Homo-oligomer: A and B are copies of this chain.
Amino acid sequence: MSGWEDIRREVLARIRSRAWPLGALIPTEATLAQEFGVARATVNRALSELARSGVLERKRKAGTRVAALPVRKATLDIPVIRAEVEARGEAYSLRLLRCNLAQPPLPVLARLGQDVGDMLHVETLHLASGRGFVLEDRWLNPAILPTPLPDFAAISANEWLVAHISYASGDIRFCAEAASDAAAAALGVAQGSAVFVTERCTWAPDAPITWVRLIHAPGYRLSTVL
């Protein structure tokens, strides 16, 4: 009856009830440990979880305070596109539209660093039950690829990367755009349709790996629980 989840709940209850107001300092771990009759490590676990989810802010020596302007944190799952299609109960297939070395456009260079020369430009159309689902426009650093190149017509660049270069660091951005003529044609939707766009940039510790832009067919939704 006094595991770290119970402590977590109790602390949350005190915050909600305003017993500990927004922005206020709360008692130290040692004090709470004594009050609840548990070890300090247990309190630490509970408070650390709350800090991770944005409810508390902790600083050494300064103590723990209730976040003044709580920033809700949501975790997004970013699955491989094939898994995403299959999770909807649809049949996955892909069409490789392009795969050649070329000079990346300036915005891509700017994000990855100017020191890279030609990159592998791979364009893939991902289909769900034969209908356009996502158009993937990707630039790959050839230095990280094996020779001969993987067959991106059989396994998408998206999937090949998570299986072989997995767990790099990077950033991701989401936005809404009007579909370009080319994208609309590939996806089979009206020109200028509002499309959901995911833009990702990933890095190995030393060199850039890839820049990718996913143009999702209209109706796509990214969702998660809070």
Task: Give the number of copies in the complex.
Answer: 2
Known: A193-B178, A194-B177. A172 touches B226 (CB 8 A): yes
Q: Within the assembled complex, what's the spacing in Å between the Cα atoms of A225 and B83?
A: 22
Within 8 A of B (CB), among A164-194: 165-178, 192-194
Cβ of A62 under 8 Å from chain B: no
Q: For A176, what are the chain B residues with a Cβ–Cβ distance below 8 Å?
A: 175-177, 194-197, 216, 218, 220
Residue of B nearest to A200 (CB): B226
Cβ of A12 under 8 Å from chain B: yes
Interface string of A212-226 (1 = CB under 8 A from B): 000010111111111
> Please, could you name 17 A-B residue pairs with CB atoms under 8 Å apart, sorted by A?
A15-B166, A22-B163, A69-B83, A70-B80, A72-B162, A73-B77, A75-B75, A75-B76, A170-B226, A171-B223, A171-B225, A171-B226, A173-B222, A175-B222, A176-B176, A176-B220, A194-B194
